[in-house]
Amino acid sequence: MNFKNPEEFILSTLADFLNQKNLNDIQPVLQKPKEEQFGDFSTSLALQLAKPLRSKPAEIAAEIKNFFPVQNEYLSKIEIAGPGFLNFFAAVNNVYDQFRQILNSAGRFGLTDLNSGKTALIEYVSANPTGPLTIGHGRQAVLGDTLTRLLEATGYKVQREYYFNNAGRQMRILGESVRLRYLQLLGVNTEFPEDYYQGEYIRDIARQILAEFGAALKDDTENTIFKDRAEQAIFTDIKNTVSRLGFAFDTFFNEKSLYDDKKIDAVVADLRSRGLVEDRDGATWFLTTKIGFEQDRVIIKSSGEPTYRLPDIAYHVDKVKRNYDLIVDIFGADHIATYPDVLAGLQALGLPTAQIKVLIHQFVTLTEGGKVVKMSTRKANFVTLDELMDEVGVDVTRYFFLMRHMNAHLNFDLGLAKTQSDENPVFYIQYAHARICSIKTLAAERGVTYQPNLHIELLQSGEELNLIKHLIQFPELVRSAAENFEPHRLVNYLFDLANLFHKFYTLCRVISDDAALTLARLSLIDATRLVIANGLRLLGISAPEKM
C-alpha cells in the first residue's frame, strides 16, 4: 500500500498492530519530538498498552518495532527510548519525494478534496444591529472567517450566515435613543436615560436625520424612522467592518422571520404533542427534566414573550432542515450555559445534532505595558473593531485574534501589535516571505535561471532538512486545524516555519559559486515562500513581496 508520508505509514502500521491484538478501540497518536535526536515522530503507545497486554512497556515497544517491515521506503530506523517510547526517523529519500510535491503542486500545496461534495453552514458574529462591532465581535469574526477558509481548503462548500433580531425592546430603545439625541440637537432640553445607547454613533445618526428632515419630526413620537435609520446605518457599518477584515456574509437570517412564518409556534406545538411542554405559573415550560436535565426551562414568560431558547431552537430547526453536512455555531463565553438547551430541543423534536459543532470563544482584553487599555471614549464604553484596525492594521488584528486557542482568554497586547519590527510575530512571518522574494529577484538579476526540482538531494544540512520536514507537514496541519476547529495551530505552524527559515538563511548562503547547490536552495526557499503564502491566505493575512 502506498502512503503519502511516513506519518500515514506509521499510523496505519500501528493500527494493524492494535487490530492484531484486538485493541481497535485504542487510537494510536504520534507526536513531534522537541529534539532532533529523538527522530521525526514519537509514540508512547507501548506504555498505553502495558495494562491491557499485561506486559512491560519495553517488551511491547520491541514487539511493535519488530512488527514494522524492515525494508520500507518511509523510515530509515526505529529506536526504543526511555521506558518504552518509540522514535521514528523518516527516510531522507521519502522526505525529498514529499518535498517535490510542493514544487509540483502548481501553488495548491496544502489544499485537499477530502470533503469535496460536502456542504457546511457557519454562523458567527450575529450581533443585533444596536451598535458597531466591538473587539469581542472581532475575535469571533476572525475565528469564523478563518475556519471557513480552512473548511474550504479541505473541500467543503461553506456558507457564512449572520443571525440577528431587529425587533423587541432593545430595538425600541435604540430608536428612542436616536430620537432623544435628535431632540437635543434641536435644542430641546430632554433627559437621556442611563440605560439608553450612549455612543457617539447615536448622535451621528441623529445628525443625519436632522440634516434630511430638519425639525419636521420634532413632535412625531410614533414615527419609526429613528429606529429604521439607526438599524440601516448600523448594519451598513457592520458590513463595512467585516469587509475591511476581508470577507462578507452570504446570508443574513432575521429572527423576526421565525415569528412571521409561525416556526416558533410550530416548535411549541411539536414539543407539546410529545408531552414536553407544560403551562404553569402563567408561563410555558420546556420539560427538560424528562430528557435528563435537573431543571425545566421557561420558553415563554408570563408576559407572553419567548425566552432566548425558543427562537434559537426554531432557528436551528430551520438550519437542520437545510440539510448541511456540517453546521458550525460560534458563540461567546456568555453562551456556554445556554446552547445545551437548544441542542436538547432539537433532539426532543427527533432531529439529528451530530452534524452540529458549537464553538465557544473566551473574551478579549486590550493591554499595553501589562495594563488594560481603553483606546477611545468616542463609542461609549467599548472599543470598536474599526478603531482597533485603524490602530494596528488588518493583518495584525487578524493574527493577534488567532494567536491563542479560542477556549483561552485573549490578552491583546497593543504595544506588541503596534511594533513595526520582527518582534511583532506577524511581521516576522511576512519578513520571511518578503526576504525570499528579494532573494529570487537577486538571483534573476545575477542571471541564475531557477528551475524547481533540480539537485534537491544536495539539501543535506540540518537547517535544510529541518526546514523541508516542517514544510511537508503543511497539508496535514491544514487538515487537522480544520477538522479540530483550531486555527491557532496554523498560526503556530507559520511562526515556527518563519523561525526555521530565518535560521537557515543565517547559516546557509542561498546564492553561491556552487551552481547546483544554488539551484537546490532556490527550490527550498521557493517552496517555503509558497507554504507561507498559502498559510497566510488561509489566515486572511497578506503576503507582501517587499517590506
Residue 510 to residue 367: CA distance in whole angstroms: 40
Q: Are strands 75-81 and 85-90 parallel, antiparallel or unpaired?
A: antiparallel
Instruction: Judge contact between 517 and 460, C-beta under 8 A.
Output: no
540: left (phi over 0), alpha (psi -120 to 50) or beta: left
Angle subtended at Cα 390 by Cα 198 and Cα 253, rounded to the nearest 5 degrees: 60
Instruction: Judge contact between 198 and 381, C-beta under 8 A.
Output: yes
Q: What is the pLDDT of residue 379?
A: 46
State the SS3 of 373-438.
CCCCCCCCCCCEHHHHHHHHCHHHHHHHHCCCCCCCCEEEEHHHHCCCCCCCHHHHHHHHHHHHHH
CA 203 to chain centre: 35
pTM of the predicted protein model: 0.91
Residue 507 to residue 486: CA distance in whole angstroms: 33
Q: Which is the CATH superfamily of the domain at 106-114+422-539? A: Isoleucyl-tRNA Synthetase; Domain 1 (1.10.730.10)
Residue 216 to residue 423: CA distance in whole angstroms: 57
In CATH, the architecture of 119-164+248-361 is 3-Layer(aba) Sandwich (3.40)
Chain region(s) in the chain for CATH 3.40.50.620:
119-164+248-361
Each residue's pLDDT expressed in tens, for the chain with a length of 547 residues = 677 789 999 999 999 999 999 999 999 999 989 888 899 999 999 999 999 999 999 999 999 999 999 889 999 999 999 999 999 999 999 999 999 999 999 889 999 999 999 999 999 999 999 999 999 899 999 999 999 999 999 999 999 999 999 878 889 999 999 999 999 999 999 999 988 998 889 999 999 999 999 999 998 888 899 999 999 999 999 999 999 999 999 999 999 999 999 999 999 999 999 999 999 999 999 999 999 999 999 999 999 899 989 999 999 999 999 999 999 999 999 888 889 999 999 999 999 999 999 999 999 999 988 888 875 444 456 789 999 999 999 999 999 999 999 999 999 999 999 999 999 999 999 999 999 999 999 999 999 988 888 899 999 999 999 999 999 999 999 999 999 999 999 999 999 999 999 999 999 999 999 999 999 999 999 999 999 999 999 999 999 999 9
Domain 6-90 matching CATH 3.30.1360.70: the answer reads: yes
Q: What is the pLDDT of residue 378?
A: 42
Residue 160 to residue 158: CA distance in whole angstroms: 7
Instruction: Judge contact between 409 and 363, C-beta under 8 A.
Output: yes
Q: What is the pLDDT of residue 452?
A: 84
Q: What is the pLDDT of residue 132?
A: 92
Q: What is the pLDDT of residue 380?
A: 58
Torsion of CA 53, 57, 59, 61, to 10 degrees: 100
Cell for 1?
500500500
Residue 309 to residue 316: CA distance in whole angstroms: 11
Q: What is the pLDDT of residue 253?
A: 97
Chain region(s) in the chain for CATH 1.10.730.10:
106-114+422-539
State the DSSP string of 36-73.
GGG-SEEE-HHHHTHHHHTS-HHHHHHHHHHHS-SS-S
Beta strands in 20-155 (DSSP E): 41-43, 75-81, 85-90, 119-123
